[in-house]
Structure 1
């Protein structure tokens, strides 16, 4: 075990299923992910994110990703969690699967979010990486409730939540680009995850392996 993992257990966190892997984002991975993001995540006329971090030149988007990831990686404790995991397929980074929330040691509730390079989309990978993250959150980290949101005009993101077993939990309006925009909310409880486990396993198509979760549980407990 490296000294970094001893001091910061989240650095050793990993989940895998077949050729799909979620891994703590090292500086080396961060640079590769920045290049993926810089090449494009969505059509220029669309904006799936509340904060429009994907606007700008390739270099501006890449630098923005570095800035955010450097700030997020320290947020792993009982008061707040910002878990950012690189998504790799056959060892190649394709995007990020994240989960975050406040007061985790008490509420054990997080909201999932993700992005994937446009060049990797349309292969069902978004659904698989969300399914793998659910295993990590519920089986690995003892999460009670996982939520997710998606703009009503983003059908792909809405489909991922439904295909991975989240239940619709209403909608509400938020401001996006100075315009009222409908945001759909979805929820998955630990009890529902137990009923969806078999379906999620079939979706992944390979056994799930989790590493480093016990130490991270202690890190999040304070």
Structure 2
């Protein structure tokens, strides 16, 4: 009788299937965050995400890059998202890599996804690689994952009115207006523009992302 082999204790996919998920585009590889990659992500945040006089985020997490614990806070945020992830409410933070180097983060979120079939997106890239179309490419990647592989029917996004770069990405991909909100940003009122996208209005790229490792994640994501 052949001996029964034990599972590899070093294989995290057994208990955390997201560790095996990957989405590949012509220039990028997106994988859910891992601890080694998060340390590199914190370094990219320290390198700079936007000019100091701007604030593109609802939560001004990029303020205070010169304070002790900033980089650790970047990692702790991702750990909280990972710890809170469950089928009814999830936020998957994909580390965006090019040639093995972490460049930023692309987030895909879902609430009651099994019923609503809606996702949200958010992202950032280190300033050194902005302006090369990578933000568009990584958004296409998670939209393909959501629409073509998870069966999403709607994707939502939002950007402040003065965040021209993010708004251009949404317009380029086919998003349509979905209302406005007012928020307090650095002590002043700021207008947030919401947008929505369906599989029918999505302006698909000329390439098709490669998705591996998703089947093991479907129960966790409600897909």
Q: Distance in 1 between matches of 2:42 and 2:33?
A: 11
Which structure 1 segments of 5+ residues have no match? none
Bigger Rg over Cα: 2
How far 1:74 moved relative to its partner? 2.5
How far 1:152 moved relative to its partner? 0.1
Q: Distance in 1 between matches of 2:132 and 2:196?
A: 24
Which structure 2 segments of 5+ residues have no match? 1-7
Which structure: greater helix fraction? 1
After TM superposition, the structure 1 = structure 2 runs for residues 106-125 of structure 1, keeping only pairs within 5 Å, are 106-125=115-134
How far 1:108 moved relative to its partner? 2.2
Q: TM-score, normalised by structure 2?
A: 0.89
Is this contact kept in 1: 2:19–2:32, CA < 8 A? Answer: yes
How far 1:79 moved relative to its partner? 1.3
**1:42 aligned onto 2:50:** yes
Is this contact kept in 2: 1:10–1:76, CA < 8 A? Answer: no
Is this contact kept in 2: 1:140–1:214, CA < 8 A? Answer: no
Count of residues paired in the alignment: 214
- Which of residues 180, 184, 196 is equivalent to 1:171? 180
Question: Residue 3 of structure 2 aligns with which residue?
Answer: none
After TM superposition, the structure 1 = structure 2 runs for residues 94-173 of structure 1, keeping only pairs within 5 Å, are 94-173=103-182
Question: Residue 20 of structure 1 aligns with which residue?
Answer: 28
- Which of residues 201, 208, 218 is equivalent to 2:205? 201
Computed over aligned residues only, the root mean square deviation of the Cα atoms, in angstroms, reads 1.8
Is this contact kept in 2: 1:100–1:110, CA < 8 A? Answer: yes
How far 1:32 moved relative to its partner? 0.4
